Chain A
Amino acid sequence: AQKVTQAQTEISVVEKEDVTLDCVYETRDTTYYLFWYKQPPSGELVFLIRRNSFDEQNEISGRYSWNFQKSTSSFNFTITASQVVDSAVYFCAPQGTSGSRLTFGEGTQLTVNP
């Protein structure tokens, strides 16, 4: 079973600021996956990234970057030069390989103001 904590319930920034969303997870699986999803006001969940627990390399995709620290069970997400369109709820979700449900956190509501 997995558990995830997204301690930041709401974050508000001004456009072009950098913002980091925190994610701390718990799992008993030795091999697992970590996901980030974005949920805009329209409601659908949009996949952002999937990371294997064996791969601790940080990843950058455009303005998005992810910092995976297995030693502290954290998988933080940074948006550089935020834009108004980044406003959404962001979910971190671990997934075991023995069981395949995604376990979602409570989410972080990000508001980017112009």
Chain B
Amino acid sequence: EAEVAQSPRYKITEKSQAVAFWCDPISGHATLYWYRQILGQGPELLVQFQDESVVDDSQLPKDRFSAERLKGVDSTLKIQPAELGDSAMYLCASSPGSRGSTEAFFGQGTRLTVV
């Protein structure tokens, strides 16, 4: 069964360092999402791609976060510099729908700890 792949599963980084997460969506899925989930809360959308284009990054802290999906396939989310408050689970999801109103399949996430 096709899955959304994320790496690494766990990441510990020091404050002010740069960190990057990678996501490989299910093959053929045009829509890719990055969500952040703080412990004890629900996931919150950071950025949404339709193919290689960003369609929603209204909640992305653009002073330190960046995301790209250069060939419309896999994606990288970067934080530079990391802050203590960035400690969270970062979830990637993909869906086949052209406007996203279909089931989203989630990866296992990257748990980030900033020390």
- Residues of chain A touching chain B, judged by Cβ–Cβ distance below 8 Å, are 33, 35, 37, 42-47, 50, 91, 93, 95-97, 99-102, 104-107
Contact = CB atoms under 8 A, between A and B. Distances in A.
B104 A97 contact: no
B103 A102 contact: no
Contact of B109 (A43, A105, A106): A43
B44 to A, nearest CB: 7
A45 B43 contact: yes
Interface of B: 31, 33, 40-45, 48, 55-56, 89, 91, 93, 97, 99-109, 111
A100 B107 contact: no
Contacts, number: 59
A47 B104 contact: yes
The interface centre, meaning the residue of B43, B105, B109 with most chain A CB atoms within 10 A of its CB, is B43
Contacts of B104: 47, 102
A17 to B, nearest CB: 25
B78 to A, nearest CB: 21
Contact of B43 (A33, A96, A100, A104): A104
